[in-house]
Amino acid sequence: MAAIKEAVYQEKHVALADVLKALGHPARLAIVEFLLEHPTCMCGDIVDNLPLAQATVSQHLKALKDAGVIQGTIEGTRVCYCVNPDALEVVVTYLTPLNKQLKRMNKNCC
């Protein structure tokens, strides 16, 4: 499927869809918001601030990291996470012109 997706759609759309898919879960959005408020934090800090089990938080962190939304650096036996600003900038860059078009659009289009 991935090869078909990449052949049919522009690379920028595939990359954006991967980021949006990773952000498409409320827990992941909460994690990103938490990391924006606490730029470098450990998985345990995130677990302490969300109503989720440690294993569940780790799964969400993995999904965010695989999509490039967050980065992690190993510090001893712990991993320190932070938001990858480039990934979020891709979303903002895509959505900003759409927002401008929506404001100009006739609200009774159908």
> Which residues sit opposite 78 in a β-bridge?
75
Q: What is the pLDDT along the chain (110 residues), one digit of tens a residue?
A: 556 666 677 888 888 999 999 999 999 999 999 999 997 788 888 999 999 999 999 999 999 999 999 998 888 888 899 999 999 998 999 999 888 888 887 777 66
Number of domains forming the structure of the chain:
1
Domain that holds residue 23: 2-104
- Residue 3: what pLDDT? 60
Is residue 84, in this structure, part of any structural domain at all?
A: yes
Is residue 28, in this structure, part of any structural domain at all?
A: yes
| Extended strands (E) in the chain | 41-42, 70-75, 78-83
Whole-number Å distance between alpha carbons of 53 and 67: 22
CATH number for the domain including 71?
1.10.10.10
Q: Which H helix or E strand runs over 90?
A: helix 85-104
- Residue 92: what pLDDT? 92
If we measure between CA atoms, which residue out of 29, 32, 54 comes closest to residue 41? 32
- Residue 71: what pLDDT? 93
